[in-house]
Every structure is written in C-alpha cells, then in structure tokens.
Amino acid sequence: MNLRTAARGFVAFLLSVPALQGNPYWAVTYPSSNICALSGSTVDIKCNYKYPKGHAVEKKLWFTNINHEPFDLKDDTDYRGRVEYICGEPKCWSYSCTGTCTLRIKDVTQRDSAYYRFRITTNQEGGAYNGVPGVKLSVTDFQVEVVIHSRYHDRVQLKCHSMCDFPGLTYTWYRNGNQHHGMSYWFYINSEYRVSCAVKGSAHLHSPSVYAPETPSVGVTPPGVIKEGSSVSLTCTSEANPVAKYTWTKVTTGHSPGHRIEGQQLSFHPIQSSDSGQYLCKAKNDLGTKSSPFSIDVKYGPKHTFVIPSPPGEIMEGGSVTLSCSSDANPAADYTWFKDNQPLPWEPRRPYTLDSVRSKDRGTYRCQAENQYGYLGSNSVFIDVLYAPKTPSVSVRPPGEIKEGGSVTLSCSSDANPAADYTWFREHGGSVEELGENYTISNITTELGGNYYCEARNAVGLQNSTLMFLNVTATPSSPSSPSSMSTTVAAGTVAVLLATILLVIFLWMRRKRASRKARGQGGRPDTREESPPCPVYDNVSALTNRSASAAQREPIEEQDDPHYASIHISRSKNQEVPCGFAGALVESDHTEQVLYSAINLKRPKAVPE
C-alpha cells in the first residue's frame, strides 16, 4: 500500500527535453520540458528568449496554464512571496536579441503542479510572444510502500520511494527518532513504533511516520440518553498510518461475535430495545489491529407486563400464595398492585406473598408497571380461595306470627367456596329429609312448631346454623284437631273437680258453725258479732248452674296459658269472713282462727258446642 508523505527541501529533478517556439526572430525555449520536485523544495524553471532587433523589451513575466489569459505570478495571491524572476540583460546580434530568464518557486506544494510559460512584450505593435507549451512541473511527496510477505506473518517490510526517484538516491529510516540505514525496514505487527524515512543526507526532508492503529474512540450521535425509536449513529475513530479500516461487531456474552458491519459508522434508524448490548469497533491496517468496546443502553417504557401466581390454581384457606409482577423495561419499572380494580398498599417492586390466605383474599389481581418512559398494565389473575361454609344464617317468610294451616318458608344461606349444599333438621326430630337452600312447610299445624336449623356442607367442611323457632298458633274458626279437643276436655274436668272440693269444704264449715251455735246456747256465750248472712247453695248443681249462667252473660277470653286452679288459705283472729268467699269458723281447744279459702278459676278457651 502506498502512503503519501510531505518532503521539505530544495531538490528538483529536470528532464532535458528542449522546446523551441516562434519564428527566426521570435522564440522562447525551455532547457527542460518536465520538472519533478519534492514537496517543500525550491524549483527553478529556466527559459531562453529571442526577439527582433530594434524592439525594446517592456515586460517579462511567467504565468500558468490555469489562467486563460497571461497573469503575472507575482500578482497571484497563491504565489505571492514565493516566486522570483532572475533575468539577465539581453544581447543583440545582427537581426535579433537574446536573453535568459529563470522562475524560482519556493516551498512548492502539490497544488503548484502545472504548466509554466514565459511571455515577452516589446514596444512594437504585435510585439508579444508566449512560450508554449511551457514546462510541466510535478510536485510529489515521499511515499512509503508497505510490502507484506506471507512467510513472515508477524512482520511486514517497508520501502520508501517517490515519483522523483532516480538512480543512486538512497534513504535513511527513523524509528521513534533513532536512525536505521538500509533500503527497507522490517516492522513487527502491532508494535508501538512510529517509522519514517528521508533522503540520505537531508534529514529535514523525511516522510510522515507510519504506525499501527491506536486504541479507537467511539462517539454517539446525538449524545446523551438513547431512547427507543430514535435515530442513533456510532462513529469509530483511530489514528493510524496507513489509514485504518473499521469493522463493527455485536458481542453477546457466552456466544461468538455476531454479524460484522464494515465501515467507520454504525447507524440505527430507528433504534430498538433489542439493539442494547456491547459492540466492538475494530480498527485495522497493515501494521496492526486495535479494538474498543462500546455499550448501548436503550431506554424504553414497560413491555410484556404480566402477573404470575405461585402456586397457580385454587388455594385452600390458610395456605400461602406469592404474586410476582414481571415487565421488560429500562430502567426497571415500579409496580402498583390492584385487587378488584382497587389499589393495594404493597411495596412497588418485590413479589407479594399472601400468608395464611383468608376468604377475604379471594378476588382478581393485576399490576401496573411504570417508569419515566411509560407505563403498562398486566393481565388479570383470579385467586380462588377454597374454604368451608361460614355459620349459616336462617330466615323465615312470612315473618311474624305463624297461623295454623298457613304456609311458611325457611331459607338458609352461607358464605362458602365451593358453594355449599344444604340439609334441614328439626331439633329432637332429626333430618326433615329436605335438601336445598329453601324449605317450605305447607298447611302447617301446631305439632310442626318448634326449633329448626340447617347444615351447610361442601368439599372443605360443614357448619350448622343457629336455631330458628317456629311458634304456630291455632286458628279459632277452624275445626279443632283431636289434640285441641283433648286439651279442652281435660281443662273442664279439672274445673268440675275444683268446684266439688269447694262445695264439700263449704258444707263442712257450715255444719261446724251450726254445731257451735248449738253449743253456745247451752254453753258459754258467743261474744263475736254475727256476720251478715251469705247466700247458701244447697247443692253442687246450683253452684254450677250459677257459674254457667254467669258464663253466658260474660264473654270468655282466649288464653294461651294452661288452665289451672289455685286455693289460697289465710288465717286471722277475730276477722269476719266476707261474703263472696266460702268460709267457715274453726275453733280448737286453745285458739280461735278464721280459715279462708279462695278459688281462682281461669276459664278455658271457648269450646264449640
């Protein structure tokens, strides 16, 4: 590979090819038609001119073929201060005059390469002559040629030359400032040396140094944070001579390098989150290779947000379940948890564990992932908590008093998962052989009154309700049932028995009183006042007839209480027995006492005739 280098000095190489222009009285000739010069040197371009005798020279100038019209180089800004005319005095002969003129250009550059021509102007009409085609000036740098020998894989051979080489021209090599002589130089690949060459004896005319690439640097455009969807370019730069070639490779940990992209620049239009990773820029020339890594961190909002329960499926009450929210985001997202669309005060990042799950934890859960570049909601996960029935509640319809012969419905409900099955029971009566949430009793009787309860059962467990008491009252207008008839007869029997006892006591006490009076007439006098006479009932039938007639006059109240008779006996000295009570005065050998007996009869319910 050829490398162009700049040389400084005063070296010019001329090719002697004469150029004759004009007629016998006008002429411009150049000793050399081609001149090769090293960059930075000083070049002399010479010419010989002739013009007719009798003409006086007014102006002599040099110009280039770049200008269409002759333009004095001394007035050209590109040459100002660098050009000089060295012209001698002309000599005249029989018919013409001759002279010489030299153009000197200092510190030539490659831009000075052109055709240079001389022009003479005299005082006579038409007295102007251009020396064409002129002299071709070629300005060149030193060139270092790198020759690779395959048999020497760890080193390359360097040669130095220029377009102006000629036999006998030799060079001196410089490695980091130290001189080395020879026609070529062996350079070890990837060494840190910088090597240049110069014309022997002219150290100031050495070439630029050649060297292996330095560690590349990578720049990103635009600078700053790389956001997904934007356009991004990476540029790799390395100082090297010869100029380095660049290769981009994406590096994946644990894998071989991926697809290679040639070129100094790597562009993404637009960049995606999948483009994140480490890239390797490699700069290489014939003298060595250097690489530099660069990481791309693409920022983006949450993607692919979802909830994962562990363990999945149904959870028994008292068990444990962990909910994890996962999302692809850069930077990492914070999470907000929701249950049945209501936010939960859970920590924003860690998975959440429900220890000792309760029935209240049953519901639909989801999460929302969010960072400064966006947010995204997850899928919904239903946590189904299985639990035994809670204590059932029992209700009755219609509420209030239950009339005999009517219809009543008992309802049982319980919170359970899975849903409970229901069985009905009567206290002390076992199952009523009724399954279902509702139990209806049609044409209810008093015998069906009492306490009822239900049992709720599912695959997890069972639970009984509290007792529900059904108080069934008999309906008066309805025909009595055998049980109510027996109750009425029993109550009547008790009443008749009590009336008979009362009558016997009354007759006995009356007899005792009559006997005492008889003794009083023949014995000690009776000092007590006589009580007003009370009506006397001669027999039981008269008492019962009176009671019956009173019953016909007064309405009989219905009572739910059992029918009973009570007898109250109280004693007090010297106290008269009032009318309305069956009473008798009883004497003993030591004291006198008045005995009272009271009978309170509560009437039974009306009994149809």
| Segment 431-441, tens digit of pLDDT | 787 889 999 99
606: in domain: no
pLDDT in tens, 522-567: 444 444 444 444 443 434 333 334 433 333 333 333 344 444 434 3
Q: What percent of the chain has pLDDT over 70?
A: 75
For residues 457 and 423, is the Cβ–Cβ distance under 8 A? Answer: yes
Query: Are residues 313 and 369 part of one domain?
Result: yes
Asked, for residue 27, whether it belongs to a domain, the answer is: yes
**pLDDT at position 368 over 90:** yes
- Indicate whether 9 belongs to any domain: yes
59-76 confidence digits (pLDDT tens): 999 999 876 678 899 999
Would you state the pLDDT for residue 167?
Answer: 62
- Backbone torsions φ then ψ of 573, nearest 5 degrees: -70, 145
The confidence score (pLDDT) of residue 280 equals 94
Q: Provide the mean pLDDT of the chain.
A: 78
Mean of pLDDT values over 484-505: 74
Residue at a domain's end among 473, 494, 510: 473
Q: Above 80 in pLDDT, residue 493?
A: no
State whether 30 and 130 are in the same domain.
yes
310 found inside a domain:
yes
CATH number at residue 344: 2.60.40.10
* 161 and 120 assigned to the same domain: no
Q: Are residues 6 and 133 in the same domain?
A: yes
Provide the pLDDT for residue 584: 37
Q: How confident is the model at residue 490, as a pLDDT?
A: 61
Asked whether 464 and 489 are in contact (CB, 8 A), the reply is: no
Beta pairing class for 472-473 and 402-403: parallel
pLDDT in tens, 123-167: 987 788 888 889 999 988 777 777 766 557 788 888 887 777 666
Out of 296, 324, 345, pick the residue that ends a domain.
296
Does residue 120 share a domain with residue 17?
Answer: yes
User: What percentage of the chain exceeds 90 in pLDDT?
Assistant: 42
Calculate mean pLDDT across residues 30-40.
Answer: 87
pLDDT, one tens digit per residue, over 194-239 is: 998 887 766 667 788 899 999 999 999 999 999 999 999 999 999 9
pTM above 0.85, yes or no: no
* Final residue before a domain boundary, out of 427, 454, 473: 473
Task: Tell me if 609 is assigned to some domain.
Answer: no
The predicted model gives 415-437 an average pLDDT of 87
- Is residue 447 situated within a structural domain? yes
Residues 397-417, mean pLDDT to the nearest whole number: 90
221 domain-assigned: yes
Could you tell me if 581 and 505 lie in one domain?
yes
pLDDT in tens, 16-28: 333 334 467 889 9
Average pLDDT over residues 337-349: 88
Rg (C-alpha) for the chain, rounded Å, is 69
b/e map 126-143, b = 16+ CB within 10 Å: ebebbbeebbbbbbbbbb
Q: Is residue 608 part of a domain?
A: no
- Contacts of residues 462-469 at CB distance under 8 Å and 24 or more positions apart, as own/partner, are 462/388, 462/389, 463/388, 463/389, 463/390, 463/391, 463/392, 463/414, 464/391, 464/392, 465/391, 465/392, 465/393, 465/394, 465/412, 465/414, 466/391, 466/394, 467/427, 468/394, 468/396, 468/410
> Whole domain around residue 200: which residue ranges?
142-205
| Same domain (yes/no): 518, 581 | yes
Q: Residue range 172-187: average pLDDT?
A: 83
Q: Please tell me whether the peptide bond between 242 and the residue prior to it is cis, using omega within 30 degrees of 0.
A: yes
* Count: domains in the chain: 6
Task: Clarify whether residues 378 and 327 are in a common domain.
Answer: yes
Residue 54's nearest CA partner among 26, 16, 14 is: 26
The pLDDT-based confidence of 346 (bands split at 50, 70, 90) is confident
The helix/strand/coil state of 494 is helix
* Whether 51 and 112 share a structural domain: yes
Residues 381 and 490 in one domain: no
Does 422 lie in the same domain as 323?
no
| Same domain (yes/no): 466, 492 | no
pLDDT given for residue 147 in this prediction: 75
pLDDT, mean of residues 369-398:
93
In the block, residue with structure tokens 């510190």: 107
What is the C-alpha to C-alpha distance for residues 107 and 83, in angstroms, rounded to an integer?
10
